[in-house]
Structure 1
Amino acid sequence: MREYLLTLCVTAAVVYLSTAPVRKFAIAIGACPPVRARDVHREPTPRLGGIAMFCGLCAGLLVAAQLTNLSSVFSHTSEPRALLSGASIIWLLGVLDDKWELGSIVKLGGQMVGVGVMVAQGLSILWLPIPGFGNFSLSPTLGAVLTVVLVIITINAVNFVDGLDGLAAGVTCIAACAFFLYAYRMWYGHGVEAAAPATLFAAILLGMCVGFLPHNAHPARIFMGDSGSMLIGLMLAASAISITGNVDPDRIVANSGSESAAVHAMVPVYMPLLLPLTILAVPVADLILAVLRRTYRGQSPFQADKGHLHHRLLQIGHSHSRAVLIMYFWSAFVSFGAVSYSAGASPNVLFLAVVTLSIVGVVLLLLPRFTPKVPRWATSFVPPRYRMYSPTNRQKTLAEPNLNVTHGDDREAQPQVSPVGQTAKKE
């Protein structure tokens, strides 16, 4: 565990320290696109944060290769080299898109090339472990196709959810933390040495997100861009693929004591399509809804819009910060719930926790629908959102209809002047 923590800390430090120079570089080369109609930020913000994240990836792999226990991952398998090769292509594709706005078809083709290079070097699904039946062997062609589809889905799911400050990095950080705990338990709890690469990849991904979040939290000073979102999506998918197909269910049965216990232990792994859906359920759900919505409208599935889950949270009245925290909550709820179930948690306790947390999540989602009123003496102890509904502030708001007041802690009370000199309402 100490070597994993050291690798995580080094990765986070490199990302954190290199983000400021990368921001200056992005401003110098003009990688600050103007604000688009679908954006929620109001000022041009530099992209290319993925450069710092890629530096952290390289530093993490370099440090891990020099450590006593983790060095065996590099000597016994080619997966780290395959990951770095595929990540380099995906990262370079993202850098070009952040600077010159590549077309969706070009990006999809580049993603297929990057994932293909990774698969060709050995990071692929070779068989599906099915408890009670053993390993179901896949043909090289079927395994490669399944791997490419899984990785591309995960890459675009993370890319689609990257719409608010700190959202993609935070959601991926939560998923990486949950997956790290699961993979570490598979290795040291069940003696599955093949889980070592996946554990290393999850630790490095966790460090990349932790190091970048201080710069990307609202209000963000830099965006990760496609160079970062596609990179961390590839890292998360590679961790899932690395452990899927390398785990022997018969060995799990022997270590667990019974087949039923082995099934519980293998839940997030024995179906490769189930793993990203549980660990990254919220971004994948957002991706599916976006494709269905755009297809129904007769648009391209890759055409950007403002109908994502985080956009809807803003539309119903949540502030920027609260919308991000709600997405964090649901991501942690699903991912850590899956890990808890795989660890053999008591069904009754797990059911009670699921019901309780679901109620909390629904209350958080419906919070803007409430119209709380607080006594005048308590207005100084509550956030501004609750003060604006008090009788005094309600009369003040009605008396000043020109003020643009939005929900949440990010309220703006200053009118925006349009280029023609007239007062325009902010969106």
Structure 2
Amino acid sequence: MNNAFQLFILLLVGATLPAAIVAMLAIYPIRRHAIRLGLMDRPGGHKAHTQATPLGGGIGIALGVVVTFAIATLAVFWTGWIDALPESLAGRVAIYADGAQTRIGMLWSLIGAGLVLVVLGFVDDRRGLPWQFRLAVQFGVAIFTVYGMGIGLTAFIGLAWLTKLMSVLWIVAVINSFNMLDNMDGLSGGVAAVIATSMAIVMISTPDPATAKPQLLVAAFLMVVLGALLGFLWHNRPPAKIFMGDTGSYLVGYLISVAMLMATFAGGGEGRPHAVLAPLCAMAVPLYDMCTVLWIRIREGRSPFQADRRHFSHRLVELGMTRPRAVVTIYLVTATCGLAAILLTHVTVLQAITVLGIVGCMLWLIGILESTRWNQ
């Protein structure tokens, strides 16, 4: 436990902090030049804000991620800095640095695929794109990631075609869940930060069965995303000075979904196949929001791709909450699900059923409370 804590602190300093600083500083000039870039979100329609707000936060998130990974790439090949670490960590980190060198190509392929989504989101933020085209590009990126790079779900199913199909659908679903959740100040970025933190802890505390060591590379990946999100949230906290836009939500959803696919949940050979459900627990709130919104739209005879104010956060406001309290409530529900995800990787099958039951009952209870408003 002490070693896991040391690794977590090391990642906070070495991965999260640089990404947060880069993203936070990068967003200041983006805010200043948003009008020139054509990245302004005007009030009206289904939008709840009352004044024009810049949309370029996603560019800052992307810069936080890319610059930090560029620095990390240099650090992987120049390992002199490891000598400055405490002796208890230096040897272990050196081993990870050697292993990371073999995965640099994969890392930058993922970054490249993510930047395709950044460009897609940038154009969508500026001009708007048909949903069919957006989905086509998202599926294209997901198919490249799964079939081209060999990154896929560990589901213990034994049917390669099915796990690959599920992996593609997972990536597209997570991308759109964060996009749909981006409807209040600090909401999508904050929820993503909570999820990235919880899954990074899972990676540190769940050993890779092939090496019996913490999954430090995936944890570092998530902690970099966390840092970029924190830098963005400095500007996005209520009242928001900038929104992440589709540029940010597409990238964040993609990086978090892929990190979960890169992870191993076998529990070091300890017979815990249920641990594969940890990402589903961590993502429970964004997926709940997406599924319920789509259901409401279809039930009302509208297109599932027609934007509205029927999201989880909006429904909490209709129950009488202020917008900031609705956001904090969703943070707390997400944190509860994140803690369940951490616990799920360390318990037996019977205990796992209990953990999953708690998450299910919590979401069911939220649904009952929300339906009270609908039935009035």
2:199 aligned counterpart, secondary structure: helix
- Structure 1 residues 170-204: Cα deviation after superposition (integer angstroms, max 9, x where no partner): 10100000000001112389944583432122111
Match of 2:317 in 1: 314
1:200 equivalent in alignment to 2:220:
yes
Give the % identical residues: 27
Matched, 1:324 2:327: yes
Q: What is the deviation of 1:215? A: 0.5
Name the counterpart of 1:145: 165
Q: CA deviation at 1:296?
A: 2.0
SS in 2 for 1:102: coil
Task: Determine if the alignment matches structure 1 residue 305 to structure 2 residue 308.
Answer: yes
> 2:256 matched to which residue of 1?
236
Structure 2 CA distance for partners of 1:94 and 1:153, relative to 1, 3 Å:
same
**How far apart, in 2, do the equivalents of 1:284 and 1:147 lie?**
15
Q: Is the 8 A contact 1:195 1:242 kept in 2?
A: no
Alpha-carbon shift at residue 23 of structure 1 (Å): 1.2
Q: In proportion to residue count, which structure has more helix?
A: 2
| Separation in structure 2 between the aligned mates of residue 90 and residue 219 of structure 1, nearest angstrom | 27
Are 1:50 and 2:66 matched, yes or no? no
Among 126, 129, 147, the alignment partner of 1:99 is: 126
The match for 1:80 is: 107
Over the residues paired in the alignment, what is the CA RMSD in angstroms? 3.1
- CA–CA distance in structure 2, aligned partners of residues 233 and 87 of structure 1: 9
Aligned twin of 2:194: 174
Measured in 2, the distance between the counterparts of 1:340 and 1:93 equals: 37
How much has 1:116 moved relative to structure 2? 2.7
Q: Deviations over 1:194-231 (max 9, x none)?
A: 83432122111111111111100110000000000111
Partner of 2:152: 125
1:185-224 alignment to 2 at 5 Å?
Answer: 185-187=205-207, 191-192=211-212, 195-224=215-244
The answer to whether the Cα contact below 8 Å between 1:12 and 1:210 also exists between their aligned partners in 2 is yes
Partner of residue 62 from structure 1, selected from 41, 58, 70 = 70
1:417 maps to what in 2?
Answer: none
- TM-score with structure 2 setting the length: 0.81
Are the aligned partners of 1:127 and 1:138 in contact in 2 as well (CA < 8 Å)? Answer: no
Contiguous gaps of at least 5 residues in structure 2: 1-6, 80-92
Q: 1:157 to 1:72 in 2, by over 3 A?
A: farther
* SS class of match (2:329): helix
Cα shift readout 1:249-277 (whole Å, capped 9, x = no counterpart): 4x723xx4xxxxx32xx4332xxxx3442
Show the 5 A alignment for 1:369-388.
Answer: none
**Distance in 1 separating the partners of 2:214 and 2:125:** 36
Larger Rg: 1
How far apart are the structure 2 equivalents of 1:278 and 1:331?
9
Helix, strand or coil for the counterpart of 1:107? helix
- C-alpha change, 1:156 and 1:296, in structure 2 (3 Å) is same
Distance in structure 2 (CA, Å) of the matches to 1:146 and 1:252: 24
| Number of the residue aligned with 2:274 | 267
Paired with 1:243 and 1:341, the residues of 2 have a C-alpha distance of: 15
Identify the residue that residue 388 of structure 1 maps to in structure 2: none
Match of 2:178 in 1: 158
Name the TM-score, length of structure 1 as normaliser.
Answer: 0.72
Question: Which has the larger displacement, 216-225 or 57-66?
Answer: 57-66
Amino acid at match of 2:289: D
Q: Which amino acid aligns with 1:209?
A: L
Amino acid at match of 1:233: G
